Structures are given as C-alpha cells and as structure tokens.
Amino acid sequence: MKKKLAMILATSLTLCAALTGCGGSDSKDMVYAVEAGSAGEEVAQEKGFQTNAVASQADALMEVASGTSDAAIIDLLMAGAMIGEGTSYPNLVHTDELTTEEYGVGCRKGSDLASYINAVFAETYADGSMQETATTYGVQEALVEQKACEYTASADSDVAYIQGKGTLIVGITEFEPMDYKDASGEWIGFDADMARIVADKLGVEAQFVVIDWDNKIMELDSNNIDVVWNGMTLTNEVTEAMECTNAYCNNAQVIVVPGK
C-alpha cells in the first residue's frame, strides 16, 4: 500500500495542472460527489459541475461505489490510499487532476501557534524525523522542504493558552493517510503523528476531535479546537480566515470514477 501510494504521488504530481477534461465531453452532465467545504467542492463549483455535497471525502467515494454519483472529486493523497488494487475501493480509478495545491495547518487568526508549528516543521525536517514519519504513511514524495524557522511568541499567546490548559485540541475528519483510526481505535496518520510531535514539544496532550469540515473556521474561532490539521488545502478562503503554517505537502484534486 505505502509503496503504491508513493509511486502514484511521484508520477501524478508531475502532471500538467492545466487539464480541463473530466472524462469526456459530457462531464457537465455528470454528478460529482464532493466533501462540503472542501477544495474539491470549490473547484467543482468553479467549473460549473453538478455536485452532491456529502460529509467527507470517504463518503464521496461511497457515493461513486454505490452508483448514486457519477464521479467524486477528492485529494490525490487520499486517492492513493483508498482506491485501486489492494485498497477499500479496488474498482475505482482516478483520472484527471483538476488542480495542484498545498496542505497547511490552520490556527486562529493572529495566533502564534502557527509560528510554533513552523519551527517544529523546520526542526523535524532538518533531523529527518518528518521524512521518516511521511515514509510510514507513503507520502514522502509529497513533502515540501521546510526551511529554518524560529518561533516568535505574541503578546496574547495561543501557545501559552494551550500549555496552560494542558491539551492541544486538533480538529480533523477521517482522511487516510493523514488522520484515520487503526484497529484499536487510535488516531494515526501523517498529520496525526505530526500533531502529537508538536503537542509533545508543547508539553501537552493531543486530543483529536472530529469536526464538520464546512464549519472548521467557526470551530477555531469559538475555541472548540485549537488547530485544523487534516490535509487542509491552502485556499484563499482558508488563508484569509486563519493563521496558516507554511505548506508541508503537495497535493491535487482528482476525479475518481468506476474503472472499466
């Protein structure tokens, strides 16, 4: 699985981002399952596609597998882990890449937590532990190089607030290979593991909370969570509403359809 995902990433991320086809000239007559509030929904709306908004990208794949939607638009990293031979959906394939994009972590607007996470990214990239974690989940080919970065505390420090309460509350959805549960019910994945590294350095516990992805900004602003860390694409909406970290992974939005 991990080797397969790395191979998909190595080849797919080099393709041209300007693809306009979507499986044929009748693409706008198709119904595309998309996660509400996601980059996939955004690109579908930009292209004028008919959409079926669902709660998660995993649900979007279920829609295609059951035949209730013609196609899905999901993240390339998820496609590599979830579709094709040896996966949960062996009869689904991905076709066109609609975008190229990057993942980042979202914090409250003005929060110094983003600066703290950037410093941890730089440290773990330099010592190789970020690459080691990425290899565990087959996403090493998608990593973005992290340059040296130092943490700068703010007067109204989110870092101090998190350390004071003893928990880093991480807003997620189930999204393999970034955040998903193992056989024992524990959250694992590249993002989950990196969030735990940050929590350890803060001296607090990481607590994972499943959120409605469409309400992620509201969850942050209301202090229900401290960070959105779930393969979040750095869209204009996100970067305007949140204090975001440096990009740490490359990604794309791809179309998934039944195989022939």
Please write the tens of the pLDDT for every residue from 12-70.
Answer: 544 433 333 444 435 678 999 999 999 999 999 999 999 999 999 999 999 999 999 99
Q: One-letter amino acid identity for 45?
A: Q
Query: What would the two tokens of residue 73 be?
Result: 């638009």
Crossing angle of helices 113-127 and 129-136, rounded to 10°: 90
Taking phi over 0 as left and psi of -120 to 50 as alpha, with beta for the rest, 133 belongs to alpha
Q: Which residues, other chains included, contact 157 with Cβ-Cβ below 8 Å and sequence gap of 6+?
A: 112
| 121-to-11, 159, 243 alpha-carbon distances in Å | 25, 16, 16
Q: What is the mean pLDDT of the chain?
A: 91
* Helix runs in 176-246, H state only: 190-202, 216-221, 236-241
- Is 56 in a helix, a strand, or coil? coil
Q: Give bridge partners of residue 107 from the DSSP assignment.
A: 243
Rounded Cα distance, 72 and 62, in Å: 9
pLDDT tens-digit map of 124-153: 999 999 999 999 999 999 999 999 999 999
Mean pLDDT within 203-230:
97
pLDDT reported for residue 5: 57
pLDDT reported for residue 21: 41
Rounded Cα distance, 210 and 139, in Å: 22
Q: Give bridge partners of residue 255 from the DSSP assignment.
A: 73
Using the structure block, give the residue that is written with the tokens 């998909």. Answer: 8
What sign for the dihedral angle of Cα 10, 16, 17, 21?
A: negative
Mean pLDDT within 68-92:
94
Residues of the chain with pLDDT > 70: what percent?
89
Widest Cα–Cα separation across the chain: 58
Rounded Cα distance, 260 and 247, in Å: 36
Q: How many CB atoms lie within 10 A of CB 13?
A: 17
pLDDT reported for residue 6: 52
| Secondary structure element (H or E) that encloses residue 22, with its range | none
pLDDT reported for residue 173: 94
Read off φ and ψ for residue 19, nearest 5 degrees: -65, 135
The answer to whether the CB of 202 falls within 8 A of the CB of 212 is no
Structure confidence at residue 260 as a pLDDT band (50, 70, 90): confident
Mean pLDDT within 92-108:
95
Using the structure block, give the residue that is written with the tokens 């970290």. Answer: 245
The answer to whether the CB of 245 falls within 8 A of the CB of 117 is yes
The answer to whether the CB of 106 falls within 8 A of the CB of 244 is yes
